[in-house]
Amino acid sequence: MQDQVLAAVEAVRQKSPLVHNITNFVVMQVTANALLAAGASPLMAHEPEELDDLLSIASALVLNIGTLDKAWIASMRQAGELAGRRRVPVVLDPVGAGASRLRTETALTLLNETRPAVVRGNASEIMALSPHLTGDEATTKGVDSTRASHEAETAARDLAARLHCVVSVSGEEDLITDGDSAWLVRGGSPLMTLVTGMGCSATAVTAAHVAVASSPLAGAVAGMAVMASAGEKAAATAQGPGSFLPLFLDALYNLDPRDAAARVRRA
């Protein structure tokens, strides 16, 4: 897996994949800058009339439910359908799943209709989705996780196996699984939880790597390894969340692919 991660990180820089994001207002600028720093090209667009044209040139699609309304939900469903036709990989971020019925139902609809290559969220979000698919019970606070990534391992494996996708769970140690094998990524920093958009950036960076990787699993692992490496390096000199963000973008830009790959181990 480390060789596949290394190859994916290098491929993003060489190919600069175009990542089409239908994401939330709160994080658009941070997400776009993270993609640029990682070597990818960002596109933020949600107007239905242009989705087909844009997805014809996109390498990956991110669906992020952070700021929902009915029009955006319709755009996400349409984009997911078009991406499926064009074989563009979809990465779904079920932001705040479990916090409201609308969020949970929207996430489930997108899961079932778009069949994403990767679902990336925190432990609470992944566990909030699992009872609707497995019959188990889970609790969630919503956008901010109340659970550690290892607590979501069973839910993540089951979700991945049932939907034939990869599930990526962020936490102190990230967990990524395709329902069969599972991988852990160490690194990052607690400061990442104090800066809005870090999780959403992880989803977008994951999509960039899925676009060029040998498999969705390798791409998902690579995306989280890149975030972990840059986050840890930025935190080493940051004085707080205000100085962390620009240092994080610099660390992404100057990232050593070998350092990212070295953070990966089998669960």
| Tokens at 99, concatenated | 């916090």
Q: Where are the alpha helices (DSSP H) in 87-197?
A: 101-114, 123-134, 153-163
- CATH number assigned to the domain comprising residue 115: 3.40.1190.20
Is 258 part of any known ligand binding site?
no
pLDDT mean over 221-232: 99
Number of Cβ atoms within 10 Å of the Cβ of 57: 12
pLDDT over threshold 90, residue 147: no
Answer yes or no: are the C-beta atoms of 22 and 114 closer than 8 Å. Answer: no
> For tokens 């990767």, what's the residue?
118
Domain that holds residue 213: 2-266
Is 44 part of any known ligand binding site?
yes
Kindly give the pairing relationship between strand 41-44 and strand 118-122.
unpaired
Mean pLDDT rounded to a whole number for the chain: 94
- Between residues 139 and 7, the one the model is more confident about: 7
Answer yes or no: are the C-beta atoms of 153 and 183 closer than 8 Å. Answer: no
The DSSP letter of residue 100 is: B
220-236: buried (b, 16+ CB within 10 Å) or exposed (e) per residue? bbbbbbbbbbbbbbbbe
Kindly state the helix (H) or strand (E) to which residue 44 belongs, with its residue range: strand 41-44
Q: For the chain, how many structural domains are there in total? A: 1
Kindly state the helix (H) or strand (E) to which residue 226 belongs, with its residue range: helix 216-235
> For tokens 């491929």, what's the residue?
11
What is the pLDDT at residue 174? 97
Is 120 part of any known ligand binding site?
yes
| Tokens at 12, concatenated | 């993003």
Distance CA 55, CA 207 (A): 14
Distance CA 144, CA 149 (A): 13
Kindly give the pairing relationship between strand 60-64 and strand 18-22.
parallel
What is the reported pTM?
A: 0.93
- Between residues 53 and 136, the one the model is more confident about: 53
Residue 167, SS3 per DSSP: strand
Distance CA 260, CA 267 (A): 17
Is 28 part of any known ligand binding site?
no
Query: Tens digits of per-residue pLDDT, 33-82?
Result: 999 999 999 999 999 999 999 999 999 999 999 999 999 999 999 999 99
Distance CA 212, CA 215 (A): 8
What is the pLDDT at residue 265? 98
